[in-house]
Every structure is written in structure tokens, then in C-alpha cells.
Structure 1
Amino acid sequence: MNPYAIFVNSFLNVSEETFNKLANISTYKKFEKGFQIDSSGEVPGKIYLLTSGIVRAYLSSEEGKEFNKSFFMAYSFVGSLTALIKKQPSKLTYETLTECKVYELSFDEITKLCREDITISNLYNKILESIFIKYEERQLEFISMNATERYLKLRRRIPEVDDLIPQYHIASYLSITPVQLSRIRKKIGRN
């Protein structure tokens, strides 16, 4: 079975007909490393199913400092959901950290299909629930774990994180400095 179909069915089992409706509104694309899928200040219209590579979502301060909010790995949805739903400019930028392969979907076409097809509407709801759960888990990490625990959890989620993502991006994601991350790595290495 197609990995895209397996991923979709991990949320809700859908018929081949329903899957084909989604496939018909998606476009396969390949992005080079450093490509901005969505940019801060722009109103997005697309959501992406990432099938390979790594994408980061980050916020830029007025001084130009970047704060990493999320890292996305293969088989996850990428896009500024709040901006898509509210049809307003995104506060986040989504940038590829590696070469990425995606299926691009028009958010308007998805919501139109949701109104026409109860299965697609149910699938959309399951995906939103999954996104909310991940968001809540991330919030809980910050109030219940120290930086070392957050780093170790990130390494469990992305085992090769240190080879794939620059140290300063990892440190920003953990809300620590690169120096603090170096100390954590050194301490872990000794244990």
C-alpha cells in the first residue's frame, strides 16, 4: 500500500475512493534545503504532507533573533494552521532544513471536501486532534522537564538529530543557548 495512504489511514480508515479524492487535490513537490515553504507575514493557502526530510517552524523577533517552535519529520502535516483557519498572515516561517518531498494541498479545497464528504470531515477532525495532542505534549515538556530531559526526548524522537539539525537550531527549540546544549551533550557523553 502507498505510504501516503498508510499515513492517512493511521488517523481514520478511508476507502480508496476517499483517498483518491485527497490525492486528486494534492501536488507532489520537492524543495531544496533552505527553502521557505511559508513565510511570516504572508497569508498561506496550502498545507503540506511531508514525506521525507526535515522542516522547522520558527518565529523571528524584531531584532532578527529566531525562535524554533517545531521540527517536522517525514509523515507529518506542515503549515501555519492558525493562519490557514483564520485566513490571516502567519506569525511563523516554515523552512526546509534538508531536501524535502511533500504533497501540497490547497486548504480551501480540503475544507470544501470536508463540507461535501463526512469521511473527509472526520479525517480532518482526527488530524486536528492529533495536532492538538502534540501541541499539548510540547507545552507539558516545558513545564515539567528540564533542558536535559527535553533534549533526551528530542533525541528519542529524532535519533540522528545531532547530525541532521544544526546545534543552534536544536538549542533554540529547547529554549537554551548553544553553550548550554554543548554542556548537556558533554555531560550525557560522560554518563
Structure 2
Amino acid sequence: MYIYVSIFKYLLLNNIISFFNQFSDFSEETFIELQNIAKFKKIDAGTQIVKFGEVPSKVYLLVSGVIRCYLSTESGKEFNKSFYLPINVMASLTALKNKSESIFTFEALLDCEIYEVDYTKLMNLCEKNHGLSKLYTSVLEDVYTKYENRLVELISLDARERYLELRKQIPEVDDLIPQYHIASYLGITAVQLSRIRKKMDGH
């Protein structure tokens, strides 16, 4: 059992390092420094790691499970902004930067494992560590690029095309995420999504 856990941790750490190396050279030393300010947590499905209206103080790295980020209206209607699968960085960034209340909620759709990093400690470490600072900038650029792509999809693609694009990004989306959450992300109703899927299946 101990050997199995050790192998799992080794593979997990390699996956995390490989993920960050997509953005910039990420040394093992930098990873160790980052790990020293991170806390590993297991959270249950339904847990909100960032709540609407709270002032957040953490950045998260998702290592297993699925998390959604959504916006709620005054009437209580929810609109899914993003889905996060392993391995991904998550944060209510504007609220963190401005020390303001989050307009988004981040909720676990499945049981998840995450690393939690204090934002202030991360910024202090970035000031001292050039490699980490470069990585942070690269990750922000990637987040902004995905945000721009999402806006383009909403403006230029119809519902079926947006659904196909989501399936391209998350091939197992239909098995991982409930249909009503997918529909909310696409900006349509669950009934409309069902019709789209039936037509695609040739029914």
C-alpha cells in the first residue's frame, strides 16, 4: 500500500510539473518552494471553495475531480462560466487582486483533491523567484486567452457548435458533468441540449 501511494504521489508531482512546464521552464527547486506554501486538501462534491460575496484569499490547483465556476443572478438563476478538470489553476482573480467580494462561486461537482495556495504568500514568492514570476505571468496569459476564446464562441457560434467545441475541449464532458450544467454553460436549456444531442446521434 505504501509503495502504491508513493508511486501515485510521484506520478501526480510529475503531472503537475509537466503542466507548469507548458508555460515556462519550471524547476524542481521552484516547485519545492511553491509546495512549501501550498496545502493539500480533499473536498466533497457540493463543496464551495469560493463563495459568492466573500473576499477570497486563495489560489487553487485542481489535481482530481471536476469544479465549476458560476455566476448567480438576483433571482437565483445560475450561469456556468467555466469547468475545471485536472490539472488546472483556479481563482477568482479580480476579487483577489482588488481584495473585493467575488461575483463567482467555485463548486466541486465531484469529490476533488486540490492544492490551496495563499495569494499573498504567492505574490511575495513571485517577487523573490524570477522563475515563478514568469510562470505566473504565463498562466495569466493562458487564462486570458481562454477567456477571449470563450467570448468568441458565445458571439460567433450557435448552440450546436458551442457544444461540439466543449466536447473537443472535454471529450468526456457528457459523462463527467450533468446535462443541466452543460446546458447552462452553453446558454441554452436542458431540453434544447437534449434535442441537439438526439440530432447528433441520428435520432
Question: Structure 1: any 5+ residue segments left out of the alignment?
Answer: none
Distance in 2 of aligned mates of 1:169 and 1:182:
12
TM-score (norm 1): 0.96
State the SS of the aligned residue for 2:55: coil
Select 1:95's aligned residue among 85, 107, 128.
107
Identity rate of aligned residues, in percent? 53
Q: How does 1:1-191 map to 2 (within 5 A)?
A: 2-190=14-202
Amino acid across the alignment from 1:85: K
* Partner deviation per Cα, 1:72-96 (whole Å, 9 max, x = no partner): 1111111211111111000000000
Question: Structure 2: any 5+ residue segments left out of the alignment?
Answer: 1-12
Corresponding pairs, count: 191
C-alpha contact 2:24 2:138 (8 A) present in aligned 1: yes
Amino acid across the alignment from 1:166: P
State the SS of the aligned residue for 1:102: strand
Find runs of 4+ consecutive structure 1 residues off by over 4 angstroms.
none
TM-score (norm 2): 0.91
